[in-house]
Chains A and B, each alone.
Chain A
């Protein structure tokens, strides 16, 4: 009989205190699980792959380039879109190089043949100088950058005082006219990888400046966890007081 009495199980509490404690734990656990995992599942259910504008523009231009129907605006659009992806910090170095190859090639398709050698020399000088300088504020370095921007940006339809123009000088391949077959095949896949995102009403709604889902996960959930812990401690204290339950101290 004694051994029967000394059995405990979370799911079969024997005392009033244990029953109430179990109920509290189960309630908090369910709320906790739904708040964390339920929200992420909802995010997953609602999401749709949405391309950035740059991908739509690129896909149209690239298709015309591949079929040989491209005109100058198509090369410009493709180059601008590729530069935009090159401005993303998450891009892998080998993918960056592939796009660099693509931008250089697009520029060479638009640039006057007679002046191509000049800009190519500028790009090479820039890279050579980069190895030597100790600060990016080096005057010679800045000067060559400005020269490249002033020559290449207008050709690609990029405003000189824009972010894409700033990215352009280091985004040009030293061997401008050549686009390897491997990179030609890879570029569309790279563009899709970086320009399609999972979006939904939860990601597009703005709350306190945040995309809502980001606020929920990075700010709200943490407040919520503290709240859950506080509720547990408070209710446990009250329960113990009500039942005159004294916790033993060893």
Chain B
């Protein structure tokens, strides 16, 4: 097999080298070099998936609990570093400057909450899925079913943004339109997830992490060196780039430097890029805070993130895997703003026109005249980022479908083979739904993903937080809290869809602003927690068996 792979690679090498000359425009026709790199990388994922494929349900759901801390940290990072991280963050900062940093802070700060409040306890509770935990802790089949459905909805919402990123990059590489690119990209990721299952996925995630971070970093060294900034550590060296954007760069400052379209490396003073909640970005202080907060608690409530802690052998490993995971994630998050800063300067001439913000990472490398093969690798890294997250989401969603809905509710006697079949059917069904929604191209990738975070923050997070830390939280309280969180979610999403459809709903401006779809958890989560506590205090106490379990298994 190894020899065959080397042979294939060597036979494609001349074609790849020739293809290096193909990219002359930002958009355009089929790009052979990037396409071949993409095919090689995706094929290697499938191969690894086959070699490490799931052999039974334990493997499929929780990777046999055989992953090391660092390996699990890499898997957490790879699972986490989605199209929203790879493409979306730079897009937000490119368009809204400092406002975009709310996403950076929200998506990293949430891990501190996750660690100190949940990681070890979740692992000690010893369940496979979020719905499993909720159904068990709140001794309710209804809650298990509802939370399984919520987990599926969250996974779908999260994956829509990923499919958007896959579509964008497949479209860029193949020179085809967005809807067709979404269908092709979606089919490939579905095939790969079905073959590999979670054990393959976890192994793949470690490989994917290396590819993602390498492809993301290499162009940064090239850009900083080429445009005469401190290139040894671009994540610090770009500070001067930011300051240059604020003060402006005159042509005479760097007269010999150009972008790939022949424009000087120059920009008018643009303090709006770095100044907080600048009026021209139409984003406010409140929105910055609400987004950061919502993303943080959403992080601690996302089923596919929580599920990662089931695959480490011990609670101690779960804790340390968060530290490693966060470190690996931050490597990318320190780097993403560099792309937006260079993108800002390189695309500043109005002749460049309005660029699709979600592709600014790739455009920046192109405008910086980075070697087309490296740009191709960058695009492949973006696809890998989306793939690794989507596969985790599909596994998480299908686990909820097969394990929490089918086995626990419909057929408790189901054989492992049937369970696997149901899980795979669930995966296919989810992929079809996600593809259909992604084709509508509703918002920026990071914004679409932020919806999933707020949904998780309003529904799953309160149930886990109170379920772990307060034995007084009971079934009635959980149901009431879930209803409160769900109502806020529904209101926000109704207004989002309404606005997209052109409807004028009551108190439209007020609700759209204070319950924005990207950050409604800022109020939804506290409301759900308060409701849960109040109702729990006035209803029948949690059964002693559950409380005993909490004391003996989770907190001792």
Contacts and interface: CB of A to CB of B under 8 A. Distances in A.
A59 interface: no
A162 B279 contact: no
Interface in B174-189: none
Contact of B469 (A8, A210, A245): A8
Nearest to A199: B275
B51 interface: no
Interface string A9-21: 1100001011000
B169 to A, nearest CB: 22
A163 B323 contact: no
Interface string A88-110: 11110100100000000000000
A84 B248 CA distance: 10
A214 B242 contact: yes
A249 interface: yes
Nearest to B96: A90
A237 interface: yes
B105 A89 contact: no
A52 to B, nearest CB: 6
A136 B115 contact: no
A6 B555 CA distance: 11
A129 to B, nearest CB: 12
Interface residues of A, number: 83
Interface residues of B, number: 95
Interface stretch (B300-308, B330-338, B502-510): B330-338
A166 B109 contact: no
Given A6-B471, A163-B267, A32 B109 contact: yes
A245 B392 CA distance: 33
A232 B116 contact: yes
Contacts of A36: 105, 109, 292
B333 A222 contact: yes
Contact of B319 (A196, A215, A233, A245): A233
Interface in A196-228: 196-199, 203, 206-211, 213-215, 217-219, 221-223, 225-226, 228
Contacts of B267: 87, 163
A221 B97 CA distance: 17
B112 A28 contact: yes
B326 A6 contact: no
A217 B288 CA distance: 12
B323 A229 contact: yes
A248 B550 CA distance: 12
Contacts of A232: 112, 115-116, 319
Interface string B249-277: 11110000000011110111111111111
Given A6-B547, A25-B117, A206-B243, A198 B275 contact: yes
Interface stretch (A39-47, A69-77, A174-182): A39-47
B315 A89 contact: no
Given A3-B544, A161-B251, A222-B334, A40 B112 contact: no
Interface in A89-143: 89-91, 93, 96, 134-137
Contact of B101 (A44, A166, A217): A217
B95 A209 contact: no
B3 interface: no
A233 B323 contact: yes
B278 to A, nearest CB: 6
B99 to A, nearest CB: 11
Contacts of A210: 239, 242-243
Interface stretch (B134-142, B157-165, B347-355, B377-385): B347-355
Interface in B327-378: 327, 330, 333-334, 337, 344, 347-351, 354
Max chain B Cβ within 10 angstroms of own Cβ: one of A24, A91, A199, A226: A226
Contact of B471 (A9, A15, A215, A247): A9
A52 B270 CA distance: 9
A26 to B, nearest CB: 9
B472 interface: yes
Contacts of B9: none
Contacts of A194: 272, 280
Interface of A: 2-3, 5-10, 15, 17-18, 24-25, 28-29, 32, 36-37, 40, 43-44, 47, 52, 54, 84-91, 93, 96, 134-137, 161-164, 166-167, 170-171, 193-194, 196-199, 203, 206-211, 213-215, 217-219, 221-223, 225-226, 228-230, 232-233, 236-237, 240, 245, 247-250
Given A88-B348, A219-B334, 12 more contacts: A6-B550, A40-B285, A52-B269, A89-B348, A90-B96, A135-B24, A163-B266, A194-B280, A197-B271, A210-B239, A221-B108, A245-B556
22 contacts: A6-B547, A8-B469, A8-B550, A32-B113, A89-B344, A90-B95, A90-B270, A90-B273, A166-B266, A193-B279, A197-B271, A198-B276, A206-B243, A217-B104, A218-B101, A221-B109, A222-B333, A226-B323, A228-B112, A236-B319, A247-B316, A249-B315
